[in-house]
């Protein structure tokens, strides 16, 4: 007798609906949620209604849905519990105070860059980055900083997935990306020159563990023409080095590019 596939549980359907929200989404309609999850509209409506009652989704005045505050609180708690974010926090604060610019802490999750912490001063330029948000690593300084000190298999996988063009300045050539990573390995400094958003630039440096492998990266971002990379790169690199020491990294063990 051939075993019949198990029916998906309500929890499974609810999880699919919550994960249907992408980094760029603020609100989605019930139809959009059903389409993205491939659930029948009646099923999606029923589960969405339960999620609204639980506070995990909120129904806006326009009739659309957005993620509820409890999910943000859980996500914030999950991020805080990560040792890297906790140990990096005072370093990030010092860097933000010294530069008066936006400071990022990011890690890789699969093939995506995820922002663990952001300190954004008032009046800072609009960027795609947001707490818990995801971006392709190839268009960010923190992403390139991590890739440069990651196993070759990760770089190959990122390239194989495709290098997106978010602006006319985004690197979409595998050869150009690999060349950029060689330079990052040499200097421990990576740049984003309007590659993820026009009008903004970024300078990043990797956070390394005891083996010299990147576990994250830190960066400073600002307006094109206002942020001077030559003035902040040493502060960014020193910040990353300080956090790296807490991760067990010893400078003499740093890998040297071929």
**How does the average pLDDT of the chain come out, rounded?**
88
Domain ends where: 72, 96, 124? 72
Q: Answer yes or no: do 180 and 101 share one domain.
A: yes
User: Is the same domain home to 124 and 16?
Assistant: no
Q: In this structure, is residue 3 part of a structural domain? A: no
Mean pLDDT of 202-221: 94
What is the mean pLDDT of the segment spanning 187-206?
A: 94
* Whether residues 133 and 57 fall in one domain: no
Identify whether residues 241 and 146 lie together within a single domain: yes
Q: What pLDDT is stored for residue 74 in this prediction? A: 73
Q: State the Cα–Cα distance between residues 174 and 222, nearest whole angstrom.
A: 26
Q: Per-residue pLDDT averaged across 49-71, rounded?
A: 92
Do 90 and 63 share a structural domain? no
| Whether residue 41 is found in the same domain as residue 112 | no
- The pLDDT value recorded for residue 1 is 45
Instruction: Kindly report the CATH number assigned to the domain that includes residue 194.
Output: 3.30.450.40
Residue 258 falls inside a structural domain: no
Predicted confidence band at 227 (pLDDT cuts at 50, 70, 90)? confident
The C-alpha atoms of residue 201 and residue 126 are separated, in whole angstroms, by: 11
235 Cβ neighbours under 8 A, 6+ residues apart: 95, 98, 99, 220
CA 198 to chain centroid, in Å, comes to 18
The answer as to whether 77 is a domain residue is: no
Q: Is residue 66 part of a domain?
A: yes
Lowest mean pLDDT across 38-42, 85-89, 129-133, 206-210: 129-133
User: 89 with 42, same domain?
Assistant: no
Token pair of 202 as six digits: 């970024």
198-201's contacts with Cβ under 8 Å and 24+ in sequence apart are: 198/167, 198/169, 199/125, 199/223, 199/224, 200/125, 200/126, 200/127, 200/224, 201/227, 201/229
Least confident range from 52-61, 77-86, 166-175, 231-240: namely 77-86
Residues 128 and 202 in one domain: yes
**Comparing C-alpha atoms, which of 240, 226, 222 is closest to residue 92?**
240
Residue 251 has pLDDT above 80, yes or no: no
Least confident of 108-112, 150-154, 204-208: 108-112
113 and 241 both lie in a single domain: yes
DSSP letter string over 138-179?
GGSHHHHHHHHTS-HHHHHHHHHH----SSTTS---HHHHHH
Residue 89 lies in a domain: yes
Q: Which CATH number goes with the domain that contains 32?
A: 1.10.10.10
The DSSP letter of residue 29 is: -
Residue 256 reports pLDDT greater than 50: no
Percent of the chain's residues with pLDDT above 70: 90
Region 105-125 average pLDDT? 87
Residue 258: predicted pLDDT: 34
Do 177 and 126 sit in the same domain of this protein?
yes
Q: Is residue 193 part of a domain?
A: yes
Domains: count for the chain: 2
Show the domain range for 104: 82-253
Query: How distant, in Å, are the alpha carbons of 38, 102, 121, 125, 226 from that of 223?
Result: 41, 10, 13, 6, 5
Q: How far apart are the first and last CA of the chain?
A: 58
- Are the CB atoms for 141 and 192 separated by under 8 Å? yes
């Amino acid at each position: 007798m051939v075993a019949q596939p198990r029916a998906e549980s309500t929890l499974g359907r609810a999880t699919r609906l919550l994960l249907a929200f992408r980094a760029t989404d603020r609100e989605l309609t019930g139809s959009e949620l059903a389409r993205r999850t491939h659930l029948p509209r009646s099923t999606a409506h029923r589960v969405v209604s339960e999620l609204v009652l639980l506070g995990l989704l909120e129904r806006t005045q326009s009739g659309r849905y957005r993620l509820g505050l409890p999910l943000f609180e859980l996500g914030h708690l999950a991020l805080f519990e990560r040792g890297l974010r906790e140990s990096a926090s005072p370093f990030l604060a010092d860097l933000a105070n010294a530069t008066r610019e936006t400071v990022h802490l990011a890690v890789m999750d699969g093939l995506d860059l995820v922002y663990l912490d952001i300190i954004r001063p008032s009046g800072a330029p609009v960027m795609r980055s947001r707490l818990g948000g995801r971006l392709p690593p190839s268009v960010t300084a923190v992403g390139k900083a991590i890739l440069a000190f990651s196993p070759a298999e990760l770089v190959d996988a990122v390239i194989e997935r495709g290098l997106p063009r978010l602006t006319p300045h985004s690197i979409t050539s595998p050869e150009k990306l690999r060349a950029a990573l060689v330079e990052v390995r040499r200097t421990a400094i990576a740049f984003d020159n309007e590659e993820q958003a026009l009008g903004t630039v970024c300078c990043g440096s990797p956070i390394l563990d005891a083996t010299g492998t990147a576990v994250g990266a830190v960066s400073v971002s600002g307006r094109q023409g206002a942020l001077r990379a030559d003035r902040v790169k040493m502060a960014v690199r020193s910040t990353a080095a300080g956090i790296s020491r807490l991760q067990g990294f010893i400078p003499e063990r740093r890998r040297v590019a071929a």
